[in-house]
Homo-oligomer: A and B are copies of this chain.
Amino acid sequence: MQARRQTRQIRVGSVPVGGQAPVSVQGMTKSETRNRRQVLAEVRRMVRAGAEIVRIGIPDEESLEAVRWVKSRVAVPIVGDIHFNYRLAQQAIRAGVDGIRINPGNLGGPRRLKAVVETAREFGVSLRIGINSGSLEKDLRRLPVAKALVKSALRAVELLESLDFFNFKLSLKSSNVSEMIEAHRLVSARVDYPLHLGVTEAGPGLTGIVKSVLGIGVLLAEGIGDTIRVSLTGPSDLEVRTAWQILKGLGLRHRGVEIVSCPTCTRDSLKIRSLAEQVERRLAPREKEIKVAVMGCPVNGPGEASRADLGLVGSRGKAIIYFRGRPIGKRDRAEAVNAICELVDKLD
């Protein structure tokens, strides 16, 4: 991994973003905001999955009331997502949200952006300037997308700086991974505001996951990015779990159990896939940071198990159990998962 690029630090409520702060995980609710109980349940699901900042869309005043109600019931910082209506952004800040995401491309011009900035300054609330390839200012739409995103972002930066306002982060989202990567590289070379990474409109299922992991992962590996959101056409807690997998995969953050398991092949005598899934399911609720190897055969099994806290390696229809890198006995397949789960408590 390349060294993390140095950015200024801002705060979204209690969560620092940028500077030396750990890369944080954000999520956004998908429920209709006015259904406040549904939103509250969704926020709680996301927090359990690991969301450290939650964004909620605020399209109207009824939604704003719902956000106020939700905000008073959760500890996680809440960011209001505002489009078109700058007055709503001001109202949301006064209602106590921890951050506001606005898109200069659809706010209605610099004067309105300035009005939001003044309210944000008054209440000490940070902004996200969210540039999006789907909603660029008209005069930029002829440029290559990455350049247009950067130009749009730099315009907003210039305006905010001219107002002596520096309490913001930037995002430059595109549904095209290469454009998104290019835009963040370019903007990162120009300014030192914290960057919020995400691929927008990533698409359904596997496509969405792969595009988000590529865009966010390539940039983080280059040391670019201070906070991330995975957007999927799918459940919001899956977005949060995917974000954590990116940070864990790159070794940037740690959280819970890591399972290392083989892809299975003709040498798998134990049907390892279902064992790995059982181990993952049983250990998922544990807060412990441990690594478990679940391997089908003696080709790579002993090597992986010796580097893990616990291991289960198939060998002629039996499971060899490893504890702290050493084999400690054999079990029948049916007992292997239990054996692993019992050993977890012996690790401290």
Q: CB within 8 A of A303: which of B136, B238, B302, B307? A: B136
Q: CB within 8 A of A134: which of B1, B246, B294, B300? A: B300
Name the residue of chain B whose CB is nearest to the CB of A60.
B266
Name the residue of chain B whose CB is nearest to the CB of A199.
B249
Q: Could you tell me if B300 and A249 are in contact, using CB atoms closer than 8 angstroms? A: no
> In this assembly, does A343 line the interface, its C-beta being within 8 Å of a C-beta of chain B?
no
Please encode chain A, from 289 to 315, with 1 for each CB lying within 8 Å of some chain B CB and 0 for all others: 000011100011111100100000000
Q: CB within 8 A of A263: which of B28, B272, B277, B304? A: B28
Instruction: State whether A266 and B31 are in contact (beta carbons under 8 Å apart), knowing that A203-B276, A246-B210 are contacts in the complex.
Output: yes
> In this assembly, does A52 line the interface, its C-beta being within 8 Å of a C-beta of chain B?
no
> In this assembly, does A251 line the interface, its C-beta being within 8 Å of a C-beta of chain B?
yes
Residues of B contacting A294 in the complex (Cβ-Cβ under 8 angstroms): 233
Q: Could you tell me if B272 and A210 are in contact, using CB atoms closer than 8 angstroms? A: no
> In this assembly, does A76 line the interface, its C-beta being within 8 Å of a C-beta of chain B?
no
> In this assembly, does A268 line the interface, its C-beta being within 8 Å of a C-beta of chain B?
yes
Q: Which of A116-124, A152-160, A214-222 lies at the interface?
A: A214-222
Q: How far is the CA of A304 from the CA of B233 in the complex (A)?
A: 15
Q: Which of A88-96, A188-196, A254-262, A316-324 lies at the interface?
A: A254-262
Which residues from 20 to 49 on chain A have a C-beta closer than 8 Å to any C-beta of chain B?
28-34
Q: How many copies does the complex hold?
A: 2
> In the complex, which range does the number of interface residues on chain A fall in?
35 or more
Q: CB within 8 A of A30: which of B178, B215, B263, B301? A: B263
Q: How far is the CA of A302 from the CA of B135 in the complex (A)?
A: 8
Q: CB within 8 A of A245: which of B57, B211, B267? A: B211
Residues of B contacting A300 in the complex (Cβ-Cβ under 8 angstroms): 132-135, 200-201
Which residues from 78 to 112 on chain A have a C-beta closer than 8 Å to any C-beta of chain B?
81, 83, 103, 106
Please encode chain A, from 201 to 231, with 1 for each CB lying within 8 Å of some chain B CB and 0 for all others: 1111111111101110110010000000001
Max chain B C-beta neighbours (<10 A), residue from A63, A203, A295: A203
What is the distance, in angstroms, from A287's C-beta to the closest C-beta of chain B? 17
Residues of B contacting A245 in the complex (Cβ-Cβ under 8 angstroms): 206-207, 210-211
Max chain B C-beta neighbours (<10 A), residue from A176, A277, A303: A303
Residues in chain A within 8 A of chain B (CB atoms): 1, 28-34, 56-59, 63, 81, 83, 103, 106, 132-136, 175-178, 181, 200-211, 213-215, 217-218, 221, 231-234, 238-239, 241-242, 245-246, 249-251, 258-268, 272-273, 276-277, 280, 293-295, 299-304, 307
- Can you spell out 12 A-B residue pairs with CB atoms less than 8 angstroms apart? A29-B265, A31-B266, A58-B266, A59-B266, A83-B267, A175-B304, A177-B249, A204-B259, A204-B261, A206-B209, A213-B214, A214-B246
Q: Which 6 residue pairs across A and B have the least CB separation, nearest first?
A: A134-B300, A134-B303, A231-B263, A210-B245, A57-B266, A33-B266
